[in-house]
């Protein structure tokens, strides 16, 4: 990539939207969801841009971003498990653990 400020590459410049998204994903390791949020477009558009349109625009960049997307996909189950763990730990810490004592009649 040319010696250009990263923010300028992502917002302006001589690169297509597909290339700007791809550079962002490669440099940050971002997920499709994070890239969509950064660029203000839908996840579907990001995915179509980097997995279909980019292939015809810049094959080398397509190959690089495909590796990052594959890694993110492989790690997806781990991130999901960590999120679930945090959710239930948070619930456990926030709840007042009451012990239910049955009444003896």
Query: What digits encode the pLDDT tens for the residues 43-101?
Result: 999 999 999 999 999 999 999 999 999 999 988 877 778 878 888 888 777 765 555 66
When divided into structural domains, the chain yields a total of 1
Tell me what pLDDT residue 100 has. Answer: 63
For residue 11, give its domain range: 6-94
The answer to whether residue 20 is domain-embedded is: yes
Spatial separation of the C-alpha atoms in residues 24 and 20, rounded to whole Å? 6
103 lies in a domain?
no
Query: Does residue 101 fall inside a structural domain?
Result: no
At 1, the pLDDT band (50, 70, 90 cuts) reads: very low
Q: Which residue has the higher pLDDT, 104 or 9?
A: 104
Assigned token pair, 67: 């590796």
E-strand ranges in the chain read none
Contacts of 62 (CB under 8 A, 6+ apart): 22, 50, 54, 55
């Amino acid at each position: 990539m040319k010696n250009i400020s990263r923010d300028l590459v992502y917002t302006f410049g001589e690169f297509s939207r597909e290339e700007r998204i791809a550079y962002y994903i490669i440099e940050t390791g971002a997920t499709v969801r994070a890239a969509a949020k950064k660029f203000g477009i839908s996840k579907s558009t990001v995915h179509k841009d980097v997995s279909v349109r980019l292939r015809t625009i810049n094959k080398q960049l397509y190959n690089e971003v495909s590796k990052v997307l594959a890694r993110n996909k492989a790690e997806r189950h781990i991130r999901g498990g960590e999120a679930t763990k945090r959710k239930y730990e948070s619930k456990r810490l926030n709840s007042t653990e009451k012990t239910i004592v049955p009444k003896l009649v």
